A and B are shown apart, each in its own frame.
Chain A
Amino acid sequence: MLIVMALLVGALGAAAFYLLLARSSLKLLFGLLLLGHSANLLILTSGGLVRARPPIVPRGALEPPAGHADPIPQALILTAIVISFAVLAFAAVLVKREYDLTDTDDTEDMRQTWL
């Protein structure tokens, strides 16, 4: 299963990089989004894959059951999901604004900082 997850991370990453290399600023956004997914899965997998044993303490117990999933990568990913959403929202508005001002979504037309 690890190999599948590794391939998924790599394939999502490759798709993200391909979009980041595109000239359309819209596609950059999708690239950012997919890259976030890829990175989150990387963290989750490298923390160790565990099935059906979430880090939750059952009622009456003091500790989660033995062999539970590592909570730290999950906490990291949770933060990452929220932050990448904030960044994506900002980037999306920025791209829109840029399109309104320049009438193009081609990044090769944006080599100068003046209009």
Chain B
Amino acid sequence: MLWMILIPLVAAPAAPWLVRRLGRHVGPLLALVPIGVGLALAIHLPMEPGTWRLEVLPWVPELGIHLAFRLDGLSITFGLLISGIGALVLTYAGGYMGDDPRLGRLCGLLLMFLAAMLGVVFSDDLFVLFVFWELTSIASWLLIGFKHEQAEARDSARMALLVTGAGGLALLAGLVLLTAAAAGSGIPLDRATRISALAGVGLSGHPLFTPSLVLIVVGAFSKSAQMPLHFWLPRAMTAPTPVSAYLHSATMVKAGVYLLARLNPVLGDSGLWHVLLTLTGAATMLVAAVMAAGQSDLKRILAYTTVSVLGTLTMLIGVGTDLAIKAAVVYLVAHACYKAALFMIAGSIEHATGTRDVRRLGGLGRAMPVTAASGLLAALSMAGAPPLFGFIGKELLLKAKLDLEYLGVVLALTAGLANVFLIAMALVVAVRPFLASRTVAAPDAHEAPPAMLAGPLVLAAAGLFVGLVPGVFDAALGSAMASAIGGRTIIMKLKLWHGLDPAALTALLISAVTLALGFAVFLRFRAGLSRLAGRFARLGRHGPARAYERLYGGLMDLAAAVTRATQNGSLRRYTRLVLLALVATCVYPLSRAVPLESVGPVEWGWHEAAVAILALVGAVTAVLSRSRLSAIAMVGITGILIAVLFALFSAPDLAITQIMVEALTVILLVLIFHRLPAFSHLRTTAARLGDAATAAAAGAVMSLMVLVAVAAPLPATVSAQMARLSVPQAKGRNVVNVILVDFRALDTLGETTVVAVAGLGVYALVKLSRRARGEGGKP
């Protein structure tokens, strides 16, 4: 199964190259990749309910993480949707982009996304799934920001990345907790990360179970745009239309739903799971459906209806009865088909007329008959009109609701109300632009090219076909998929006409009423649109999107303020910040670590103390001096006195070197600086006192460091070894010299290089000064 993921992944970077070589007609050729994957999946049909095939390759066996892939009803259905719609979208993209040179990049990214998405649905290992999950977020970010020269596209892409990325972090934390809960319940580590091993175990008693459930649900909700994390999806419509059709309606946004469906057997035995999913899903379903009516952009209408459908699916998984799961299966597949088709049709309309504003569209039916026909079919499926697949989905949905003991009627009415708006919007998007009598936008509209007709036509026809002969679907896949979601064997027998049992008749009645109401809303749409849109625009200003903007803006302001405060170009401020940070972090731990007995082991020596005090006097005089030359002299005196200290404490080499270097330093400084002006008072007295306090505190840290370091002497073994080997191996009696030129000769080579480079730098700068002065001197 790994190769099914690898081949698109390998094809992705090849796509731009192929497009450059073969031009825009390469779309169908690239579509062969997902078609191949689809055929390889189709071999496994029909799928027996409750069975699966596993493939396991070790990846990080120490952590129990394996590249485990599973084929069952759920993953094959998703795999077929991903590869099938992927093939159609790739074909469509060739027509949509035309001769745009960015077609190659688009196709490459779409293939990369396809591979990631296949990885998500095939993974049986929680963490492998997570890796692919994040990959889909990144691919989505790149695709939303595809027109990266537009600020709006960049903003939308960043919003999608931040929202889904934050959700991804929550998901990761949830998965880790879930694994911990499983390991804590006695499941061996090797199997604790495997979804198939965790299904039906019943972990809900473990204390980590509830937090892990909440975090996983948050992650899934962010991906599937559930309230209140839905706002990124309508914004994502700045992406090119093939991307919207593929990622943001048919596949990626369903990854969240997929995850919920996949983990339903693992997490579904908890009451919290059902409450969270049912309530959030129902709220999202209704609110998004109403909000869709406030939009006028074709793609944004479709985006809000997508959010509504995702809410419906979440709710159905939360309800979790056999009927609800069957409804979720049918609804999911039907939605993927008609919504991808509708997005492509929206793209074709935009392609032909140059606008996506429904208020300016009309009368396109004569010019675009094939698009219009597929639009009508897709819209009928979305509206849930017989005999399309969407109708079966809606019937099942209503029956599943009515079947419930609690809240059944409420949920059914909510779903019915949401459905009214979905029906109206379906007609607005896919029928109104073709039927309305007068053309506003483009009199020269033309039918879309064949590459752009194939996708909508095939998908709409599929909806009709499965609607007419639903038995094909449930025998081949439906039952297996429902069983995988439910974690128990669920046999589906789909029918268009359910006979005369009361539940079916009630559902049919509600269905008919919603259709009639939806049509009524559609007829009033034109009048009500602008008022409703204005109202929702006002409402939108206070939604969660607003909270996101505030948070993001606040973060940016904070970053700017911190940068202004710390990176203002003043060297003094940088030094002060470093010193204060040193003091703040080191004083307390160091003063705790000073052992008092370490103060006394070396005997007192009057002459040494006198030298030390004199060295200090030199340094203080240098600090206070107003004259450059006396400051240089005083620094030199300090250096010489330190050389004396070296000599007194058994370091003759250091003393010699220090005296020579000190002499050189004084000569160098005098040579360079004898022409500079005297020091002037540049700081106020208050600033001087503040600096003195900072410096004194940092100096105290250094004193403490001495005392702490003395108490923890270096391990003597290395020193002893070098002292012992100095004469026999290196033939040298001065151990320090032997270390420098023999034992650690490479270090000394490096040191010499540093000195040489510094010397070159000095030479270059001096020469530069001379030349500058020479040129400046000429009149």
Chain A residues packing against B (C-beta within 8 Å): 1-24, 26-30, 33-34, 37-38, 40-42, 44-59, 61-64, 68-75, 77-79, 81-83, 85-90, 92-94, 96-97, 99-101, 105-108, 110-112
What residues of A have a CB within 8 angstroms of the CB of B695 in the complex?
A: 14-18, 20-21
Q: What distance in Å separates the Cβ of B636 from its nearest Cβ neighbour in chain A?
A: 9
Interface pair A96/B735, CB less than 8 Å apart: no
With contact pairs A17-B699, A18-B691 given, residues A112 and B569 touching in the complex (Cβ less than 8 Å):
yes
* 8 Å CB interface, B575-615 against A: 575-576, 579, 598-605, 608-609, 612, 615
Interface pair B668/A9, CB less than 8 Å apart: no
Interface pair B751/A83, CB less than 8 Å apart: yes
Give 21 CB contacts A-B under 8 Å. A2-B706, A4-B612, A6-B704, A12-B619, A18-B692, A20-B695, A21-B694, A41-B645, A45-B710, A47-B713, A55-B734, A56-B735, A63-B724, A68-B723, A74-B736, A77-B654, A82-B657, A85-B665, A96-B673, A105-B677, A111-B570
From B598, B620, B716, give the contact of A2 (CB < 8 A): B598
From B682, B699, B772, give the contact of A106 (CB < 8 A): B682
Q: What distance in Å separates the Cβ of A78 from its nearest Cβ neighbour in chain B?
A: 6
Interface pair A86/B755, CB less than 8 Å apart: yes
Interface pair A86/B682, CB less than 8 Å apart: no
For the complex of A and B, the 6 pairs showing the least CB-CB separation, nearest first, are A14-B699, A10-B703, A111-B569, A46-B709, A86-B758, A17-B695
SS class of chain A's interface: helix, strand, loop or mixed? helix
What residues of B have a CB within 8 angstroms of the CB of A93 in the complex?
A: 672, 761-762, 765-766
From B568, B661, B709, B762, give the contact of A111 (CB < 8 A): B568
Interface pair A45/B739, CB less than 8 Å apart: no
B639 CB-CB contact with A under 8 Å: yes
Determine, out of B219-227, B286-294, B725-733, the stretch whose residues face the partner at the interface: B725-733
Bound-state CA distance A65–B763 (Å) is 45
B373 CB-CB contact with A under 8 Å: no
What residues of A have a CB within 8 angstroms of the CB of B602 in the complex?
A: 1-2, 49
Bound-state CA distance A62–B680 (Å) is 58
Bound-state CA distance A97–B32 (Å) is 67
Interface pair B676/A33, CB less than 8 Å apart: no
Find the A residue at minimum CB distance from B594: A6
Bound-state CA distance A9–B709 (Å) is 13
Interface pair B719/A70, CB less than 8 Å apart: yes
B491 CB-CB contact with A under 8 Å: no
SS class of chain B's interface: helix, strand, loop or mixed? helix
Interface pair B735/A64, CB less than 8 Å apart: yes
Q: What distance in Å separates the Cβ of A96 from its nearest Cβ neighbour in chain B?
A: 5
* 8 Å CB interface, B651-688 against A: 651-654, 657-658, 661, 664-665, 668-669, 672-673, 676-677, 679-680, 682-683
Interface pair B709/A42, CB less than 8 Å apart: yes
Interface pair A8/B714, CB less than 8 Å apart: no
With contact pairs A21-B576, A57-B733, A88-B665 given, residues A71 and B649 touching in the complex (Cβ less than 8 Å):
no
What residues of B have a CB within 8 angstroms of the CB of A22 in the complex?
A: 572, 682-683, 691
Find the B residue at minimum CB distance from A96: B672
Interface size band for B: 35 or more
* 8 Å CB interface, B616-663 against A: 616, 619-620, 622-623, 628, 631-632, 635, 638-639, 642, 645-646, 648-654, 657-658, 661
With contact pairs A10-B699, A64-B735 given, residues A78 and B654 touching in the complex (Cβ less than 8 Å):
yes
Q: What distance in Å separates the Cβ of A110 from its nearest Cβ neighbour in chain B?
A: 7
Bound-state CA distance A73–B294 (Å) is 77
What residues of A have a CB within 8 angstroms of the CB of B14 in the complex?
A: none
What residues of A have a CB within 8 angstroms of the CB of B680 in the complex?
A: 24
Find the A residue at minimum CB distance from B673: A26
Q: What distance in Å separates the Cβ of A43 from its nearest Cβ neighbour in chain B?
A: 9
B698 CB-CB contact with A under 8 Å: yes
With contact pairs A9-B703, A46-B709, A82-B661 given, residues A92 and B672 touching in the complex (Cβ less than 8 Å):
yes
Interface pair A8/B713, CB less than 8 Å apart: no
What residues of A have a CB within 8 angstroms of the CB of B765 in the complex?
A: 90, 93-94, 96-97
Find the A residue at minimum CB distance from B766: A93
Interface pair B727/A63, CB less than 8 Å apart: yes
Interface pair A107/B571, CB less than 8 Å apart: yes
Most buried by A among B694, B710, B718: B710
Interface pair A75/B736, CB less than 8 Å apart: yes
Bound-state CA distance A57–B733 (Å) is 5
Find the B residue at minimum CB distance from A21: B691
From A49, A50, A105, A111, give the contact of B676 (CB < 8 A): A105
With contact pairs A4-B612, A26-B679, A107-B571 given, residues A17 and B710 touching in the complex (Cβ less than 8 Å):
no
Q: What distance in Å separates the Cβ of B682 from its nearest Cβ neighbour in chain A?
A: 4
Bound-state CA distance A23–B688 (Å) is 10
What residues of B have a CB within 8 angstroms of the CB of A61 in the complex?
A: 727
B176 CB-CB contact with A under 8 Å: no
Find the B residue at minimum CB distance from A43: B709
What residues of A have a CB within 8 angstroms of the CB of B696 in the complex?
A: 14
Interface pair A37/B642, CB less than 8 Å apart: yes
B99 CB-CB contact with A under 8 Å: no
B150 CB-CB contact with A under 8 Å: no
Q: What distance in Å separates the Cβ of A54 from its nearest Cβ neighbour in chain B?
A: 4
Interface pair B773/A100, CB less than 8 Å apart: yes
Bound-state CA distance A29–B766 (Å) is 17
What residues of A have a CB within 8 angstroms of the CB of B653 in the complex?
A: 74, 78
What residues of A have a CB within 8 angstroms of the CB of B652 in the complex?
A: 54, 56
B360 CB-CB contact with A under 8 Å: no
Interface pair B642/A41, CB less than 8 Å apart: yes
Bound-state CA distance A20–B516 (Å) is 82
Q: What distance in Å separates the Cβ of B714 from its nearest Cβ neighbour in chain A?
A: 7
Interface pair B714/A33, CB less than 8 Å apart: no
Interface pair B651/A44, CB less than 8 Å apart: yes
Determine, out of B250-258, B363-371, B525-533, B740-748, the stretch whose residues face the partner at the interface: B740-748
Interface string of B750-771 (1 = CB under 8 A from A): 0100110011011001101100
Interface pair A49/B758, CB less than 8 Å apart: no
What residues of B have a CB within 8 angstroms of the CB of A63 in the complex?
A: 723-724, 726-727
Q: What distance in Å separates the Cβ of A16 from its nearest Cβ neighbour in chain B?
A: 8
What residues of A have a CB within 8 angstroms of the CB of B723 in the complex?
A: 55, 57, 63-64, 68, 71
Interface pair B649/A21, CB less than 8 Å apart: no
With contact pairs A23-B683, A71-B736, A75-B736 given, residues A29 and B669 touching in the complex (Cβ less than 8 Å):
yes
Q: What distance in Å separates the Cβ of A44 from its nearest Cβ neighbour in chain B?
A: 6
Interface pair B648/A71, CB less than 8 Å apart: no
Interface pair B616/A9, CB less than 8 Å apart: no
Bound-state CA distance A37–B514 (Å) is 88
What residues of B have a CB within 8 angstroms of the CB of A58 in the complex?
A: 733
What residues of A have a CB within 8 angstroms of the CB of B772 in the complex?
A: 100-101
Q: What distance in Å separates the Cβ of A65 from its nearest Cβ neighbour in chain B?
A: 10
Bound-state CA distance A51–B664 (Å) is 28
